[in-house]
């Protein structure tokens, strides 16, 4: 069976040079064919699998790569291009955790971010942790949400290019978040997602009540939306790609054809099919075999 190993570094610090490509090619065998996807940033190395698992080949390549800031993806050549992207928002499509930034408006960021971190690591259950954090926001003016959106929220590099390129190639893109609709609506529009789902913060008289609408969109709901979309679009699971960073993303990451852990918590990185520790979100395009010239930039 034909396999491909993809080497990816961040575009701001290119590390996939000719020497690295040569050394990895030699490690994979004489018949390895190298294709440069982006000079210095990404390369595909096609090879015939000698019977090793993708995990074993990945480990062997990482031994060659050493400490270089390069991500390694190994997979069959067939069915790389995906027709569905389902993505987390906080710390995945944006750099921040929205609830932590709302807490900063009340001087509670340190307290709430500690709970967020434990929930994302899977140390505590997501739903009660969300209720606990939202309760601490009671009384915050709803107008503070626009302030946070304008002044604190930053898109993750490569996210818009990822979504726009996949959509230009007939993929459907869904943003599913354990965060809040106040944020997903804006972030989804900025990036270009086809749909967005999240939790709803309840408000009264222009202030947050400290409660969130039930049922809470968490780990199982993300997986369920993936399954619904597969049925709605009449596609196969091997045509889907899921990306996230926290424990509440695990179910959709494990269910998708290609589950990607993006700058993720250890438990998520261990469970995912692929992990991105160095590249930006365009790494998910290189993973699918897109080259830089295929990117839709806007």
Average pLDDT over residues 17-21: 98
Active-site positions read 88, 90
Residue 58, pLDDT score? 96
Q: Mind listing the pLDDT tens digit for each residue in 46-81?
A: 999 878 899 999 999 999 999 999 999 999 999 999
* Domain regions of the chain by residue span: 1-78, 82-298
Structural contact between residues 87 and 198, judged by C-beta atoms closer than 8 angstroms: no
Residue 123's pLDDT band, with cuts at 50, 70 and 90, is very high
Q: 182 burial class (0-12, 13-18, 19+ CB within 10 angstroms)?
A: buried
Give the model's pLDDT for residue 249: 97
- Do residues 2 and 46 lie in contact, with contact meaning Cβ atoms separated by under 8 Å? yes
pTM listed for this prediction: 0.96
The domain 1-78 having CATH identifier 3.30.70.270: the answer here is yes
The rounded percent of the chain whose pLDDT value lies above 70 is 100
pLDDT at 131: 97
Q: Which class is domain 82-298? A: alpha beta
């Amino acid at each position: 069976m034909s396999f491909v190993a993809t080497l990816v570094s961040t575009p701001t610090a290119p590390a996939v040079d000719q020497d690295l490509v040569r050394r990895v090619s030699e490690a994979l065998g004489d018949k390895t064919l190298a294709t440069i996807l982006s000079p210095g940033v990404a390369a595909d190395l096609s090879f015939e699998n000698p019977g090793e698992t993708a995990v074993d080949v990945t480990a062997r390549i990482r031994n060659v790569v050493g400490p270089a800031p390069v991500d390694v993806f190994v997979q069959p050549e067939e069915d790389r291009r995906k027709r569905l992207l389902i993505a987390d928002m906080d710390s995945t499509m944006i750099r921040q955790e929205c609830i932590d930034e709302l807490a900063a408006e009340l001087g509670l960021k340190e307290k709430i971010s500690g709970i967020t971190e434990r929930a994302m690591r899977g140390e505590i259950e997501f739903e009660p942790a969300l209720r606990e954090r939202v309760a601490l926001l009671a009384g915050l003016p709803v107008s503070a949400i626009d302030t946070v959106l304008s002044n604190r929220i930053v898109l993750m590099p490569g996210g818009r290019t990822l979504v726009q390129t996949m959509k230009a190639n007939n993929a459907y893109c869904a943003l599913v978040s354990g965060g809040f609709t106040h944020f997903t609506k804006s972030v989804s529009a900025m990036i270009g997602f086809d749909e967005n789902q999240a939790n709803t913060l309840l408000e009264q008289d222009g202030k947050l009540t400290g409660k969130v609408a039930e049922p809470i969109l968490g780990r199982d709901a993300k997986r369920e939306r993936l399954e619904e979309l597969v049925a709605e679009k009449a596609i196969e699971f091997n045509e889907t790609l899921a990306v996230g960073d926290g424990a509440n993303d695990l179910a959709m990451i494990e269910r998708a054809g290609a589950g990607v852990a993006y700058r993720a918590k250890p438990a998520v990185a261990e469970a995912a099919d692929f992990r991105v520790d160095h590249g930006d979100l365009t790494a998910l395009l290189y993973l699918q075999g897109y080259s830089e010239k295929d990117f839709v930039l806007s």
